[in-house]
Structure 1
Amino acid sequence: MPVNINDVMQLFCHLCEKKGMKAAIKHSGRGALVVGATAFVGGLMGGPPGVAVGGAVGGLLGAWMSAGQFKPVAQILLELPPAEQQKLYDEAIGILRCLDWTDIVQLTALVMGNARLQHELIAVLRNYFTNELRADIQCGE
Structure 2
Amino acid sequence: MPLNRGAIVKVLEIISVEKGLQCTATEAMKGAVTAGACAFGGALLGGPIGMGIGGALGSLYAAVQSKGKFKSVVSVLQEMTPQQLMLLENNFQAIFQDIDATDIAAAATLIMSNGNLQGQVLQQLAHFFKEEMALQLAS
Normalised by the length of structure 1, the TM-score is 0.65
The normalised TM-score by structure 2 is 0.66
Instruction: Calculate the aligned-residue CA RMSD, in Å.
Output: 2.3
Name the structure 1 match of 2:30.
Answer: none
Is the 8 Å Cα contact of residues 88 and 124 (structure 1) preserved in structure 2?
A: no
| Equivalent pair of 2:2/2:100 in contact (CA under 8 Å) | no
**How far did 1:138 drift?**
0.8
Shift of 1:2: 4.9
Paired with 2:5 and 2:108, the residues of 1 have a C-alpha distance of 14
1:97 aligns with 2:97: yes
What does residue 67 of structure 1 align with?
66
Structure 2 residue runs of 5 or longer lacking an equivalent are 28-61
Alignment match, 2:45: none
Q: Look at both structures and tell me which one has the larger radius of gyration over its CA atoms.
A: 1
Identity, in percent, stands at 25
SS in 1 for 2:24: strand
Shift of 1:110: 1.2
Please show how residues 1-141 of structure 1 align to structure 2 within 5 Å. 1-26=1-26, 67-68=66-67, 69-139=69-139
Measured in 1, the distance between the counterparts of 2:128 and 2:86 equals 12
Q: CA deviation at 1:3?
A: 2.7
Quick check: 1:7–1:104 contact (8 Å CA) kept in 2?
yes
Query: Structure 1: any 5+ residue segments left out of the alignment?
Result: 28-62
Number of residues of Structure 1 aligned to a counterpart in Structure 2? 104
